[in-house]
Amino acid sequence: MFGYRVPAPDQAMLISGGRRGQGGAPFRVVTGHGKFILPVFRKTRFLTLSMQEAEVSETCVTKQGIALTVTAVIAFKVGNDTESIVNAGQRFLSDQNQMSTLTARIFAGHLRSIIGSMTVEEIVTERQKLAEEVLDTSKSEMAKIGLTVDSLQIMSIDDMKTGYIDAMAAPHKAAIQRQAQIAQAQATQASVEAQQEAERNKAEYARHTAIVQAQYKAEVDQAQAVAAQAGPLSQAKAQQEVLMAQTELAQRNAELRQQQLVAEVVKPAEAEAERVRITAAAEAERMRVQAEAAASYDRVALDRMIIDQLPLIVEKAAGGLNGANINVLNGADGLSEIAAGLVGQGLAILDSVKKGLSEETGKEAAKPQVIERVQIENGK
């Protein structure tokens, strides 16, 4: 639309004419949106808000009096707030390239001032500290002209061929070289050890492989030998089993024959022997009973006969006293004693006879028992 102006995202639109801007500024600041501008009564200009760069290469003298050439790069831009835009617009709107020149000069002065308070060792080893101090000291001054610094980088430090930095670095270089040599020696040693270990592993692998191959060959040979002997061994084993079976069958047949012999011969013979023994024992017992009965009968008959003959025996004994010259000293008692003696002699004779008969009877009774024992011993 005619008369309507819109600033770019990295620009600030400055409108002059008409009323004043914020804080009595001679222009109004518009960012981020458009504005209708009267063509004749208002005038617009644009101020860049993009990032800009300034390079500083300054010869500075350190605290030790050693001259150094320091090169630094500053990244800066116009602040985003209205006050910074107004300050920058009033100074750089007509020639915005002057922002880089002025920034380089400001930082060159602060750089010389700060390096003059430091040693070469500090400058070389503490570059970040140097940059931070330069930024801190220049911040307020940059703010007055509406600029803000995003970063400061120390690019290089040169002692202008005095050799001071090289001399300062020499011990470190030597130490680094020693460390490098040591590291190289260690690496070489490690490489040699690794190679030796590889050779040992290779030899061990070869030895192990040879052992395995030998074992495999031995197993194969053994398997082949077993396979070759499998037929004869199987046949021999089968024959052995047949012989064992035949032997077992013969043993069983012998046992069966033995049992048959026991059943057919031994048992009947034992039964017949037992029958004969029992029969002989019964016959002997019968004969013994008969003998005892006969002996008992004979004793009774003999005793009866002796008793019947006892008076005659006494009479004969008394007759033997006839004509004998016997003196009786005690009268009737003496005669009684003589008579009693005769009777006692008769009884003694009777006992002797009975004893003799008993012995004869016992001998006769023992004869059947002896016969029975002989028959038993002879197995009849």
What CATH number is attached to the domain comprising 140? 3.30.479.30
The model's confidence at residue 215, banded by pLDDT at 50, 70 and 90, is confident
Query: Does residue 108 carry a pLDDT above 60?
Result: yes
104 in the same domain as 8: no
What pLDDT sits at residue 347? 60
What pLDDT sits at residue 376? 46
59 in the same domain as 114: yes
Task: Give mean pLDDT, residues 1-25.
Answer: 79
125 in the same domain as 65: yes
Which range of residues forms the domain containing residue 46?
1-50
104 in the same domain as 28: no
The three-state secondary structure class of 97 is coil
- Alpha-helical runs (H) found in the chain: 82-92, 98-115, 120-125, 127-144, 164-261, 267-319, 332-377
The three-state secondary structure class of 72 is strand
Query: Does residue 352 carry a pLDDT above 90?
Result: no
Query: Does residue 317 carry a pLDDT above 60?
Result: no
> What gap in Å lies between CA 184 and CA 357, rounded to an integer?
146
All residues at 6 or more sequence positions from 134 whose CB lies less than 8 Å from its CB, including other chains: 72, 107, 110, 111, 114, 152
26 in the same domain as 99: no
112 in the same domain as 66: yes
The model's confidence at residue 243, banded by pLDDT at 50, 70 and 90, is confident
> What gap in Å lies between CA 249 and CA 175, rounded to an integer?
101
> 18-22, 24-28, 45-49 — which is least confidently predicted?
18-22
Query: Does residue 141 lie in a domain region?
Result: yes
What pLDDT sits at residue 239? 78
Mean pLDDT score of the chain: 78
Query: Does residue 139 lie in a domain region?
Result: yes
For 236, phi and psi rounded to 5 degrees?
A: -60, -40
CB count in 10 Å sphere of residue 69: 13
124 in the same domain as 71: yes
> 100-109, 217-226, 268-277, 351-360 — which is least confidently predicted?
351-360
Could you give the percent of the chain with pLDDT greater than 70? 73
- Helix axis angle for 267-319 and 332-377, nearest 10°, is 160
CB count in 10 Å sphere of residue 379: 11
Most confident of 237-241, 250-254, 290-294: 250-254
What pLDDT sits at residue 225? 77
Task: Give mean pLDDT, residues 210-227.
Answer: 82
145 in the same domain as 74: yes
What pLDDT sits at residue 70? 92
142 in the same domain as 116: yes
Query: Does residue 328 lie in a domain region?
Result: no
Domain boundary pick from 134, 162, 190: 162
CA dihedral 353, 355, 357, 360 (to 10 degrees): -140
147 in the same domain as 99: yes
Query: Does residue 20 lie in a domain region?
Result: yes
Query: Does residue 270 carry a pLDDT above 70?
Result: yes
What pLDDT sits at residue 106? 93
The model's confidence at residue 98, banded by pLDDT at 50, 70 and 90, is very high
40 in the same domain as 60: no
What pLDDT sits at residue 248? 83
61 in the same domain as 24: no
What pLDDT sits at residue 272? 81
What pLDDT sits at residue 148? 93
The model's confidence at residue 348, banded by pLDDT at 50, 70 and 90, is low
The model's confidence at residue 370, banded by pLDDT at 50, 70 and 90, is very low
What pLDDT sits at residue 340? 58
> 106-110, 160-164, 328-332 — which is least confidently predicted?
328-332
Model confidence pLDDT, tens digit, residues 134-167: 999 998 899 999 999 999 999 999 988 888 888 8
Task: Give mean pLDDT, residues 43-60.
Answer: 91
Of the two residues 24 and 146, the one the predictor is more confident about is 146
Query: Does residue 318 carry a pLDDT above 60?
Result: no
Query: Does residue 135 lie in a domain region?
Result: yes
The model's confidence at residue 282, banded by pLDDT at 50, 70 and 90, is confident
H or E stretch covering 380 = none
The model's confidence at residue 114, banded by pLDDT at 50, 70 and 90, is very high
Domain count, the chain: 2
